[in-house]
Amino acid sequence: MMVTRLHCLVVTLLHLLHTAGSVNFEVLGPTEPIVAVAGDDIILPCYLKPNISVEDMTVNWLNLDYIDERVYRYQNGRIIQENQIPSYRGRTSLFKEELWRGNTSLKLTRVQGTDEGQYKCFIKSKDWYDDVTIQVLVKAVGSRPMVSIEGHREGGMGLVCQSEGWHPEPDLVWLDSKGVSLSAGPPEKHRDLKGFYTVKQHVIVQETDTNLFICKVLQSRINEEVETEVHIPSEFFDVTTTWRLSFIVLCCLGVITVIGLVLAVYWMHKKGVQVNKLKQDQDKRNKELYHQIGFFRRV
């Protein structure tokens, strides 16, 4: 029993000697998600409690979607750029004048869609470490939908609607003038290198009493929606009228082409006549000159 107590006492003393002079700290940050607007600059708060200096510590900012790369790293008084995620280069920084009092907040500039995710602020001293996780949500309202008429399709008139620059991924719906959803083709969605979404969808509409149709793009998480109305004249739905208009246009183009050809032929003919006349005049002058030379030789 005495040996056991003595052993415990020795272990305790060794632990106290090892931790003497070291300071345990806690890493703190926001508990609620940070909502960032695309294109803006944001600050991800992170600090130590107590407010001790981190100038001789290691500060790692991580995006948990990446395993082997870092958002930002500060170690032994300098910035470590090795293994930094390429999309964060030139967009991240610490507040160096605040490091002495434990402020390790990260400034992230020109927020883009790929910045959304969970971030970890990890701080390590020689004898201690701690971290905190922060959720970042990115909000981007895309462009007003652009509607184009594709022409006649089987069963009606083909329309296509497109909007770009969204985050998170949006939904697109086609509505009639009464707000009733129209049956449309499958949505086409694309995400660019910065994480912003483009959505596109085709629809075939039939003639109604108003011929008014609405393309609406919405994102429920950020409570945003934009829409564009398009009115299709009744004449566009009349295939006979459309063909008649097309025939008239083609006839006009044909007439213009024929007139152009006639004028070209006339100009070429006129030019040829002028060239022939000039040639005849030149021949006449040459003959007169020849006779004059012959006359002088006889004299």
Let me know if 269 is exposed, middle or buried by CB neighbors in 10 A (0-12, 13-18, 19+): exposed
pTM for this one? 0.70
Q: Which CATH architecture has domain 23-138?
A: Sandwich (2.60)
Which residue, among 140, 65, 52, has the nearest Cα to 99 in the 3D structure?
52
CATH superfamily of 146-233: Immunoglobulins (2.60.40.10)
Per-residue pLDDT of the chain (299 residues; tens, 9 = 90+): 444 554 544 334 334 334 434 579 999 999 999 999 999 999 999 999 999 999 999 999 999 999 889 999 999 889 999 999 999 999 999 999 999 999 999 999 999 999 999 999 999 999 999 999 999 999 999 999 999 999 888 878 999 999 999 999 999 999 999 999 999 999 999 999 999 999 999 999 999 999 999 999 999 999 999 999 999 998 887 764 444 555 566 766 777 877 877 777 777 777 666 656 666 766 676 666 666 555 444 44
Burial of 287 (C-beta count, 10 Å sphere; 0-12/13-18/19+) = exposed
Distances (CA, A) of 287 to 97, 136, 155, 293: 103, 98, 80, 10
CA distance 256 to 267: 16
Question: Which residues belong to CATH 2.60.40.10 in the chain?
Answer: 23-138, 146-233
